[in-house]
Structure 1
Amino acid sequence: PFNAYTAMQRPGLLLMGGSVYAGFGSHCGHAPYVGHVLRVDTATRKTTLWSAGTSSDNGKSSVWMSGGGLVSDGPGRILLTTGNGDAPGVGPGSKPPGQLGDSVVRLGVNSDGTMSAKDFFSPSNAPLLGLLDADLGSGGPTALPDDAFGTAQHPHLLVQIGKDGRLFLLDRDDLGGRSQGANSTDKVLGIFGPYEGVWGHPGVYGGQGGYVYTIGSKGPLRAFRYGVTGDGVPTLIDAGRSSETFGFSSGSPVITSTGSTPGSAVVWAVYADGSSGANGQLRAYDANPVNGTVTKLWSAPIGTASKFSVPAADGGRVYVGTRDGHVLAFGRPST
């Protein structure tokens, strides 16, 4: 059941096929709660609901993602990540169980507007993640653009990182289930790290060979270059990091560029000292690492940063909303 008193709508909204989709989790773990995705048809106002848990007693499985958005890579397809709750049992991704805690889930939208899980991935150590409060779902999934990433065998890729700091590279059409790899390991394309825990989601730039960026709590901005192993499997290569670190509650990276023109890409991110958002800054970095370093180009104070804030970019401007009640616009020229 949906409990409006304890449900919190944190993830970014998705507009797909004339319907709005919203993800729900908890208010910082206050029970009872169950992770939900709610669909509202914009023409008829009809609503349908999907839950990541089988009952309110053991539901949990928040669709939280620190504000990251529900992802769609095609009609009727939604990708999301859950945190906490009971982990799914060992089994293939093509047979998702009713309980999907600490999982990347691909939902399908049925002809009547209902939703059902079609595929999932959960780390083989998911029960331990739950015990350690190391939720996979503190991070949101990021689909990598097909024109810059992927191979003929794995053309549709996704990256996921959560509180335990491991960066997973997944196939969106075959997420991998739980413990389906050799010797009951993870059936994924790659695992990188662990690095610092992430509350947010990776950023992506498809130019200059393709890059993925993450910001760890109390860690640097990291850049990973896309590549292919000798066996022809997609991979990510640690290409560099910033010398500056980011406090807890800092935001996720956003990349702007002039298409794929070399040298035009900039990574933007909101820095915060910690949960209070004190000493907030908007920072800009060169998207192309040099000799293992992601170079800071510029920064400006913004006051009190909003928790997990993500800049918006449009028309040559970058916009930041702050916790002390301002929307700031940055551009060049400043007029």
Structure 2
Amino acid sequence: LLLTRQVQTPFLQSDIGCTDIPNTIGIIGTPVIDPNTDIAYFYAKTYIPNFRTAGNTGTFNGVYYFYAVDVKTLQDVPGYPVLVDGSYADNDPRKYFVGGTILQRPSLSKIGNVVYAAFGGHCDLFNYTGTVLGVDVTTQKVVTNFATESGPNSRFSTDWLPNGGGGQAGIWQSGMGLASDGNRMFFVTGNGNGGENQGLPANGASGCRTLAEAVVNLGVDPTTGKVSAIDYFQPYDYINMDGGDQDFGSGGIALLDPTVFKGTGVSRIGVTSGKNGKIYILNADNLGGYKQGQGQTDLVLQTITTNKAVFGGVGSYPLEGGYIYSTPVGYPTSAYKLGFNGAGQPVFTFAGATPEVSAGRVGGGVPTITTFKGQPGTAILWLTDPDAGLRAWYAVPQNGVMTRINLPQTGGINKFQRPAFGDTRMYVTDANGVLYCLGSPVNLPLKCNSPVSFGDVALNSTATATLSCTAIIGINAITQLTVGDARFVVDKSTIPQGAIAAGKTFSFNVTWDLRNVAVNNAANASYGNTSPGIKSTALTLYTTNSVGGYATSFPLGLTGNQVSRAAYLGLTPITNDFGGLVLGIAGETPSSTLQFTIANLGLTPMTILGYAYTYDEDLGTGFTSTDLPPVGSIIQAGGAVSVPATFNATTGTGDYLSYFFVYSDGGKANTILEGSASTAPKANFSISNGEGGWLGQSNLLMDFGSAKPGETVSRQIRICNEGGSVLTVSKSKPPLGAIRAQNYGIDLHESQTIAVNDCAYGTVIFGPGAEPPNIPDFTETNTWTLNTDDLSWGVHVVQMMGV
């Protein structure tokens, strides 16, 4: 440890009652560092005694300071810190910044001389409005303050206590930063109150000023640094999302590489997702407004319905055709590959998933992808997990699966963290504050040309590459070598026998043998996939060394592109899981649309010969498509067509299944179409009475009675699902303190699911601490705020008291 410094006394969590961040709140949003000046910029939450109310602490004495610190000395840059409290919103002068009621959660962004930061609420408590602040680091002044809820249709009050008094629409994004491509910034907002559109369709450039549950595009004035709204997207069902606490803003927006992720009429793509179980693919130059799509639905490039909540955002990989990655809470990480429909417009198709699932609680990081010097076949997907720690997989799925890379075990990672990379090393900290550094061993016995590319190799042919290595130290012997894919064959006669002197160079040959292979996937095959595409594997040399302290295993990378001279049919994904439709919600006709891709992976044109399906409907009972390539159509070499398929519950509740076959002169393939339909979830709520029974649903008071210091009294909250589909806890803010949740963050946690005809419980403990003698009886209070995706249930705030 070189230097450490505490810049302020941190704000106390107990002053706001929100337990998302326990104990203290100080520097939460990830700082931004200017590499030209080595200055770190960040916000710190603290107090000014007696600022707005009497006392040294308290919610309304909370403030934010903007810091500029030299990273080499940790000392303040002259003129800093800057107090930002009290600054008025440019777009609504009624509203001004009150640091005690607001939280700076997202990472900071620097555009030109201005550092921008976004703010949201603490568990939707108090009167707050989502805010974007910009500070000019040269003048050390706040140059812009944008309120996400403004104008006469937004809520406003000078009473800072009532929840929702400022309209909400906070920006938190699970810590993900503001996205920018120059003079534009993009972010996503959370729950809000009301709406200017009042259910009427509106263009994204219409100037809507109540921007809750929205993706927002702010224009940045390059001269002044001021920002203004120029475009937005609000899901057509955002009012329902508000009712079910399906916070759109739990995920940020990612702007994808425009050199790859583009298509007809689309030059820039943005991707976002949140608690509502949908991934939205957006045209960043025309986000979509409100109800601008067919039937007053969403005007977006694509909606991928997963029915799985995301806290964070998507990762992307622009090579090998282009992929995006999403990690829902409690589910595997899924990869979606870029494709194009018949009009050349971009669409994403499910390509595969990790065998492992993420933690069943909020806190997983954003998928992060790295490569070795931008070379195809070397991509690694990294993910942090609050339970499992750091994980990694090969980023391109093979046969629908992303293969895990074994790593040294780390502790569980703090919520929403992502690893940092530099100088061939990876850095991450765990929830206990331990810093881990992973990378190539410092003491390597060999220096080799790795990875080695075989280039394009046609199926039913071979290619040979030569690997060269130089001994850094004396090697007693190469004792063993292993190859992950048996089609890569090492000529062992070229491996040196016996000792290798330090400084000596040796070479050996590896042949990629694709002869005499069945050009299809074989179940349980030990060989690598023989279908066309980029393939990679590891070759590991094992040594005994003449000098201690050096590694005894040395992995080398082998990569190449398998090609087929003839036409070759590819049909992905192997399964299209449309998830479950919930029937019976007034005013809704649910459906789900996914994409599958028909591709020609060969080097000659491919002709579609026909289709077959389970039943005598379009794609099978419940499944339809209006964009299948006609029989006889030709897909050019390397071309692909993305086909939208829609699932409707045409025969009511139950399971739906169809096997859909494609026949071509490049082979045949099939994909499975599956989905289900059920009635809506229905929550039944009750509190235990301490006598073995349960209070009625309308009772929201948990009364512990009296307890002596050192004693504990317990009660339970019970939520049962009496509906026909899975019920999800969409909001949970459990208590801490003398009245506390026994299993904080585990019982009734956000995104917890409750099966049909099942119940979930949360135990609450009242445990007064030891008291000096002759202290009069006094009352302790607390709350537990809960909501579910039962739209008829609403927010429940359980009041708790004990004497």
Q: Give the TM-score range, shorter chain.
A: over 0.9
Residue 220 of structure 2 aligns with which residue?
Answer: 109
1:73 aligned residue (181, 184, 188): 181
Q: Is contact 1:88–1:178 with CA below 8 Å preserved after alignment?
A: no
Paired residues for 1:1-335 under 5 Å: 1-47=96-142, 48-54=144-150, 55-56=155-156, 57-74=165-182, 76-86=183-193, 87=195, 89=197, 90-110=201-221, 111-247=223-359, 248=361, 249-273=363-387, 280-333=388-441
1:78-115 CA distance string (max 9 Å, x none) = 00010101355231101131110010000012343321
CA distance in structure 2 between the aligned counterparts of 1:310 and 1:12, rounded to whole angstroms: 12
Identity of aligned residues (%): 36
Aligned to 1:276: none
Q: Which range is displaced more, 84-93 or 147-156? A: 84-93
The residue identity in structure 2 corresponding to 1:158 is: G
In structure 1, distance between residues paired with 2:431 and 2:131: 27
SS at match of 1:296: coil
Paired residue secondary structure (2:179)? coil
Paired letter, 1:28: C
**Count of residue correspondences:** 328
Equivalent AA in structure 1 for residue 202 of structure 2: G
Retained in 1: the 8 A contact 2:281–2:300? yes
Between the aligned partners of 2:391 and 2:98, the Cα distance in structure 1 is 39
Deviation at 1:262, TM superposition (A): 2.1
8 Å CA contact 1:208, 1:260 repeated in 2: no
Quote the Cα distance in structure 2 between the aligned partners of 1:195 and 1:259: 36
Give the partner amino acid of 1:93.
G
* 8 Å Cα contact 2:185/2:217 also seen in 1: yes
Residues of 1 paired with 2:175 and 2:385: CA distance?
16
| 1:187-226 Cα distance to aligned partner (Å, 9 max, x none) | 0000012242110011111110111011110011110101
Q: Mean alpha-carbon deviation: is it higher for 24-33 or for 211-220?
A: 24-33
Q: Secondary structure at the match of 1:320?
A: strand
1:326 shift after superposition: 2.1
* SS of residue matched to 2:230: strand
Q: Which has the higher strand share?
A: 2
Look up the SS of the partner of 1:28 in the other structure.
Answer: coil
Indicate if the aligned counterparts of 1:207 and 1:259 stay in contact, CA closer than 8 A: no
Distance 1:333 1:148 in 2: 34
Distance 1:334 1:241 in 2: 33
1:258 CA drift (Å) = 2.2
CA distance in 2, matches of 1:171, 1:326: 41
Q: Secondary structure at the match of 1:5?
A: helix
What one-letter code is carried by the residue in structure 1 that aligns with 2:406?
A: W
Deviation at 1:67, TM superposition (A): 0.5
Distance 1:175 1:96 in 2: 13
Check conservation: 2:253, 2:270, Cα contact below 8 A: yes
- In the superposition, the TM-score normalised over structure 2's length comes to 0.40
State the Cα distance separating 1:259 from its structure 2 match.
Answer: 4.1
SS in 2 for 1:158: strand
1:185 is aligned with what amino acid?
A: T
CA contact (8 A) 1:14 1:69 kept: yes
The range that moved more, 324-333 or 284-293, is 324-333
| CA 1:216–1:88: 2 relative to 1, 3 Å | farther
Decide whether the 8 Å contact of 1:206 with 1:260 is kept in 2. Answer: no
Give the CA deviation at 1:321.
2.0
Which shifted more, 9-18 or 89-98?
89-98
Cα distance in structure 2, aligned partners of 1:331 and 1:88: 52
SS class of match (1:325): coil
Tell me which amino acid in the other structure corresponds to 1:33: Y
**In the aligned structure 2, how far is the partner of 1:95 from the partner of 1:300?**
52
**What TM-score do you get using the length of structure 1 for normalisation?**
0.94
Distance in 2, Cα, partners of 1:197 & 1:45? 40
CA contact (8 A) 1:281 1:300 kept: no
Distance 1:220-1:252 versus aligned 2 partners, 3 A rule: same
CA contact (8 A) 1:240 1:292 kept: yes
- Whose relative contact order is higher, 1 or 2, with alpha carbons under 8 Å and at least 6 apart? 1
Unaligned 5+ runs, structure 1: 274-279
* Distance in 1 of aligned mates of 2:207 and 2:432: 43
Q: In structure 2, what is the Cα distance between the partners aligned to 1:207 and 1:29?
A: 40
Q: Any idea what SS the aligned residue of 2:321 has?
A: coil
**Bigger Rg, structure 1 or 2:** 2
C-alpha contact (below 8 Å) 2:264/2:345 kept by paired residues? no
Cα separation, 2, equivalents of 1:255 and 1:195: 24
Using the TM superposition, give the Cα deviation of residue 53 of structure 1 relative to its aligned residue in structure 2, in angstroms.
1.0
Whether the aligned pair in 1 keeps the contact of 2:264 and 2:343 (CA below 8 Å) is no
**How far 1:29 sits from its partner (Å)?**
1.6
